[in-house]
């Protein structure tokens, strides 16, 4: 119920007991003279895998300082829930002692021993909120109207909090991050991320030669539209959080999660030497200069890695034959006759190497899909060092021709 701010609320303020670390909430029967505590949210490190700096960060600091939530009140154990947050609430973070996550309006826990509330929480950038939100369904798009994913989109969904009647406060959580007690809210990313790095590497030592390598073109073709249909079911037990499912599988990072139209819309991310205004240049045009493999490091001669494609969100998908990669690069060779790291004049050799468009899963066969809640870093290595030009000399044996004995004096 919403706080009516009557004096009785100020006089009798109840502090709920801390819940078990295992997230099993304690139910408590309250008298009419003891108002229930205000509802808050707990989005910290109460489960392994959430990211929080023990000193200053809360679990969502790198993502957002607010998220959306809907709640359904089951008064006196009613099977059907009523909208407790109306059309939904924005839950925001306020730094303090402790730090607090709370909805924009004040809400208070129900009093009846058999009343409880279910919570569904999510976050989405660029006004791409879920198209369906209920106690048992959370969905972005449909087969007929899929969502188109842009590189700066970010979707999060939290494990559903079922049957809560008081704030939860796992002891190990507040001891680490100092965020107030509340509805346990563990978020997962609904999208994937990819990043590409490039470096030069060779196992061949060389002297008196310097290589320059310049990336000229690159392209990555990916599917960018799909739909995500998550389902959940009331555990009909004590208060707990339950992961959403895709079909019968938990919606975690070990599955793709998103479905795709039979004819997916493709996006091509490129970097080219073209100056045309319609060329989208997401890849960086990199140049590696003065690569001279002389100093051995961990059994290899290699350059520092450079970021080729900055981290970006992508639609989770099976790579199959849809996702393709291509690139061209230029190799220039220079003499370094004194072996002092300085080039002797202009390049004596220049050539363009083309990697024609190929399935990314073929090039990197250890990654066959981009899954939800997973970041993939591709390290592209180029070995510009070919075999040295050597010679294999041989001399044809002298052909010996012996004349017959010939008397030359006195001549006959």
284 in the same domain as 325: yes
- Average pLDDT for the chain: 82
Same domain, 75 and 14: yes
Q: Is residue 390 part of a domain?
A: no
Claim to verify: residue 84 and residue 98 sit in the same structural domain: yes
Which domain covers residue 138, as residue numbers? 7-190
Is residue 155 domain-shared with residue 14, that is, in the same domain? yes
Q: Which helix (H) or strand (E) covers residue 7, if one does?
A: helix 7-11
Whether the per-residue pLDDT at 99 is higher than 90: the answer is no
pLDDT of residue 24: 30
DSSP string, 157-193: EEPEEEEE-S-B--HHHHHHH-BPPBEE--EEESSEE
Q: How remote is the C-alpha of 132 from its chain's centroid?
A: 24
**What per-residue confidence (pLDDT) applies to 279?**
63
What's the pLDDT at 31?
Answer: 28
**Residues 201 and 330 both lie in one domain:** yes
User: Which residue in 98, 114, 110, 124 sits closest to 42, CA to CA?
Assistant: 98
Q: Are residues 14 and 138 in the same domain?
A: yes
What pLDDT was estimated at residue 47? 42
Enter the tokens of residue 363: 């090039």
Confirm whether 232 is domain-assigned.
no
In a domain, 206, yes or no: yes
CA 32 from chain centre, in angstroms, equals 49
In the block, residue with structure tokens 């479905």:
259
Alpha-carbon separation of residue 44 from 100, 120, 175 (angstroms): 11, 17, 11
Radius of gyration for the chain, computed over Cα atoms and rounded to the nearest angstrom: 33
Q: Is residue 74 part of a domain?
A: yes
Q: What's the pTM?
A: 0.81
Q: In whole angstroms, how far apart are CA 296 and each of 172, 290, 301, 351, 379?
A: 47, 16, 5, 27, 20
CA distances from 223 to 145, 192, 271, 321, 379 (A): 15, 12, 18, 11, 21
C-alpha 31/C-alpha 25 separation (Å) is: 19
With CA atoms as reference, report the closest residue to 71 among 1, 134, 25, 127: 134
How remote is the C-alpha of 87 from its chain's centroid? 30
Contact 236, 329 (CB under 8 A): no
**Residue 240 placed within a domain:** no
Instruction: Assess whether 182 and 199 both reside in one domain.
Output: no
| 186 and 115 assigned to the same domain | yes
Residue with the larger pLDDT of the pair 31 and 195: 195
Sign of the torsion formed by the C-alpha atoms of 237, 243, 245 and 249: negative
For residue range 252-272, what is the model confidence (pLDDT) as tens digits? 777 889 998 888 888 888 887
- Predicted pLDDT of residue 35: 38
- Domain check: are 220 and 110 in the same one? no
Tens of pLDDT along 308-320?
Answer: 999 999 999 999 8
């Amino acid at each position: 119920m919403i706080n009516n701010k009557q004096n009785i609320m100020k006089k009798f303020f109840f502090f709920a007991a801390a819940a078990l670390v295992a997230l099993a909430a304690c139910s408590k029967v309250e008298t009419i003279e003891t108002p229930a505590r205000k509802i808050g949210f707990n989005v910290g490190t109460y489960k392994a895998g959430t990211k929080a700096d023990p000193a200053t960060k809360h679990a969502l600091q790198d993502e957002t300082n607010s998220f959306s939530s809907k709640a359904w009140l089951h008064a006196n154990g009613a099977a059907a829930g009523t909208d407790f947050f109306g059309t939904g609430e924005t839950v925001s973070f306020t730094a303090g002692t402790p730090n607090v996550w709370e909805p924009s309006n004040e809400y208070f826990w129900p009093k009846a021993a058999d009343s409880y509330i279910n919570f569904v929480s999510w976050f989405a950038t660029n006004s791409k909120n879920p198209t369906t939100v209920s106690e048992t369904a959370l969905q972005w798009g449909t087969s007929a109207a899929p969502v188109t994913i842009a590189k700066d989109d970010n979707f999060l969904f939290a494990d559903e909090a079922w049957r809560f009647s008081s704030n939860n406060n796992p002891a190990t959580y507040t001891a680490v991050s100092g965020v107030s007690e509340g509805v346990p809210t563990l978020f997962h990313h609904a999208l994937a991320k990819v990043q590409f790095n490039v470096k030069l590497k060779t196992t061949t030592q060389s002297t008196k030669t310097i290589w320059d390598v310049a990336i000229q073109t690159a392209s990555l073709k990916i599917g960018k539209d799909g739909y995500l249909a998550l389902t959940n079911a009331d555990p009909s037990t004590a208060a707990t959080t339950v992961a959403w499912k895709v079909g019968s599988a938990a919606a975690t990072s070990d599955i793709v999660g998103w479905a795709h139209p039979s004819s997916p819309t493709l996006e091509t991310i490129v970097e080219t030497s073209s100056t045309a205004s319609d060329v989208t240049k997401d890849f960086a045009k990199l140049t590696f200069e003065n690569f001279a493999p002389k100093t051995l490091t961990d059994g290899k001669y290699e350059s520092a890695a450079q970021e080729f494609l900055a981290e970006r969100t992508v639609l989770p998908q099976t790579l199959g034959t849809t996702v393709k990669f291509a690139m061209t690069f230029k190799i220039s060779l220079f003499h370094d006759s004194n072996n002092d790291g300085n080039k002797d004049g202009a390049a004596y050799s220049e050539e363009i190497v083309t990697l024609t468009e190929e399935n990314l899963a073929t090039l990197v066969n250890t990654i066959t899909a981009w899954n939800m809640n997973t970041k993939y870093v591709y390290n592209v290595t180029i070995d510009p060092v070919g075999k040295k030009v050597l010679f294999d000399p041989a001399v044809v044996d002298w052909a010996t021709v012996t004349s017959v004995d010939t008397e030359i004096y006195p001549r006959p």
